[in-house]
Amino acid sequence: MGSRQFSESGEPTAAPRSVESRLEMSRRSFLQFCATLATTLGLPKGAEAAVAEAMTSAERPSVIWLHFQECTGCTESMLRAEHPTIEKLILDVISLDYHETLFAAAGHQVEAARKAAMEKHKGKYLLVVEGAIPTKDGGIYCKVGNQTAIDMTRECAADAAAVIAIGSCASWGGMPSTIPSIDGADSSPTGSSGVAEVLGRPVVNIPGCPPNPYNFLATVVHFLTFGTLPAVDAQGRPKFAYSRLVHENCERRAHFDAGRFALAFGDEGHRKGYCLYKLGCKGPETYANCPTALFGDAGAGTWPVGCGHPCIGCTEQGVGFTKPIHTLARVKNIEPPAVYPGIHEKQGQGASLGSAAVLAAVAGAAAGAGAMVARNLGRSHESEPAAPADSAKE
């Protein structure tokens, strides 16, 4: 007969749920998932045990998720995560206490829930910001509950344990920060900015349009496991996801090295899977793990370049939403040589008798000219006076 647990008042309590029942995953699958996350984060062997312990802990971190100038694509990307699915993530891994898109409630109820979570978990909650923050004209172009995006971000960040900017818009301004093609325009119409710029301090940026959901999940798991956020690069991006160029791990890289490029959508090179560099692929100047992490849990090839479209550089500030899509990328590691043959070289038929005769005549004339130069050069040396004996000794 199984043992039962009782509360201090003597009432029976429900037994703690196992990993299998909580996440609807077998123990083996769960451990494999933890090992994958540990590998993704670049952790040493054996770290999967710490990851597993953190994810099965009863203490779930409170998360407050803000929305500003964005298309909700980052949230939509999270909704399509499969390992674990979004309901397992927000109910069993984290405590999502505020999210305008996923909340059933609205209005004053939602804002009251946010303030209550901030008070209860003061200094311990994670703040996630999705979308750019308009700064022009005092930030009047985006308000939530009659509070500007600037004020709400600063209020929520004041007592947060960590701040994560998810998506390119929150990371540096993304698409809303694009400068219009108008004479004299030097900024976006609303002054769209990233979270770090508004707060005046570094935050963890997870850029992408949308970013891979597992880059966000791995960042949260790192915080759960070690109580700190992962190491970041100069742009505030986690190194485990943004330290290698897309170009380095692209399945089309071999075609780039061999000089095989698609020149137009639908041409023979495009159909054969040739490199998309000449169609404007920004992979050679964009740092992201898209070729290895992929998207949608649908198997190989499930990322833009794998599907036949050039990378637009959405994770790279100054590239995505700045450079025209079909402008050639600035290759950061090796420039393609100008002596590559064409994609569709015609088969030669051999030299004709007449052309061979002409070539022989030209070669003969060149050889004769070379002999005359050598002969005259020898004569010029013979005409020079001999050097004095004293100078020769020197």
What local confidence, expressed as pLDDT, does residue 300 receive?
76
283 neighbors 325 (Cβ within 8 angstroms): no
Residues 114 and 225 in one domain: yes
The structure's pTM equals 0.72
In a domain, 67, yes or no: yes
In a domain, 169, yes or no: yes
Residue 10 has pLDDT above 50, yes or no: no
Give me the sign of the Cα torsion angle 185, 188, 191, 194.
negative
Q: How confident is the model at residue 1 (pLDDT cuts 50, 70, 90)?
A: very low
In a domain, 363, yes or no: no
Give me the sign of the Cα torsion angle 352, 357, 361, 363.
positive
Which residue, of 295, 312, 341, is where some domain finishes? 341
In a domain, 352, yes or no: no
| CB environment 153-192: b (16+ within 10 A), e (fewer) | beebbeebbbbbbbbbbbbbbbbbbeeeeeeeeeebebbb
Q: Who contacts 267 (Cβ-Cβ below 8 Å, separation ≥6)? A: none
In a domain, 387, yes or no: no
In a domain, 386, yes or no: no
In a domain, 302, yes or no: yes
Q: How confident is the model at residue 12 (pLDDT cuts 50, 70, 90)?
A: very low
In a domain, 46, yes or no: yes
Residues 204 and 305 in one domain: no
**pLDDT digit string, tens, across residues 78-115:** 887 776 666 666 656 778 889 888 887 788 888 998 99
Q: Which CATH number fits the domain that encloses residue 286?
A: 4.10.480.10
Residues 273 and 157 in one domain: no
What local confidence, expressed as pLDDT, does residue 371 receive?
59
197 φ/ψ angles, rounded to the nearest 5 degrees? -65, -40
Measured CA to CA, the distance from residue 247 to residue 329 in angstroms comes to 11
Q: Which CATH number fits the domain that encloses residue 90?
A: 3.40.50.700
Q: How confident is the model at residue 294 (pLDDT cuts 50, 70, 90)?
A: confident
Looking up tokens 């949308």, which residue turns up?
Answer: 210
Looking up tokens 């005409």, which residue turns up?
Answer: 383
Q: How confident is the model at residue 4 (pLDDT cuts 50, 70, 90)?
A: very low
136 neighbors 187 (Cβ within 8 angstroms): yes
Measured CA to CA, the distance from residue 184 to residue 177 in angstroms comes to 16
- 241-256 mean pLDDT: 93
Q: How confident is the model at residue 386 (pLDDT cuts 50, 70, 90)?
A: low
Residues 194 and 271 in one domain: no
Residue 147 has pLDDT above 60, yes or no: yes
Residues in the chain: 394
Residues 316 and 214 in one domain: no
- 17-42 mean pLDDT: 65
Structural domain of 294: 244-341
Beta bridge partners of 132: 69
Measured CA to CA, the distance from residue 196 to residue 193 in angstroms comes to 8
What is the rounded average pLDDT for all residues in the chain? 80
Residues 92 and 139 in one domain: yes
Query: Which of 147-161, 241-255, 322-336, 358-372 comes out lowest in average pLDDT?
Result: 358-372
Residues 228 and 262 in one domain: no
**pLDDT digit string, tens, across residues 331-378:** 887 666 555 555 555 555 665 666 666 666 666 666 665 555 455 545
Query: Which of 40-54, 86-100, 247-261, 300-314 comes out lowest in average pLDDT?
Result: 40-54
Q: CA torsion angle for 180, 181, 186, 189 (degrees, to 10)?
A: -30
What local confidence, expressed as pLDDT, does residue 24 receive?
64
Residues 283 and 150 in one domain: no
Number of domains, the chain: 2
Measured CA to CA, the distance from residue 27 to residue 49 in angstroms comes to 13
Residues 139 and 267 in one domain: no
Measured CA to CA, the distance from residue 226 to residue 141 in angstroms comes to 38
Residues 324 and 265 in one domain: yes
The Cα angle at residue 65 between residues 60 and 71, in degrees rounded to 5: 140
What local confidence, expressed as pLDDT, does residue 192 receive?
94
Residues 236 and 248 in one domain: no
Residues 250 and 139 in one domain: no
- 201-215 mean pLDDT: 92
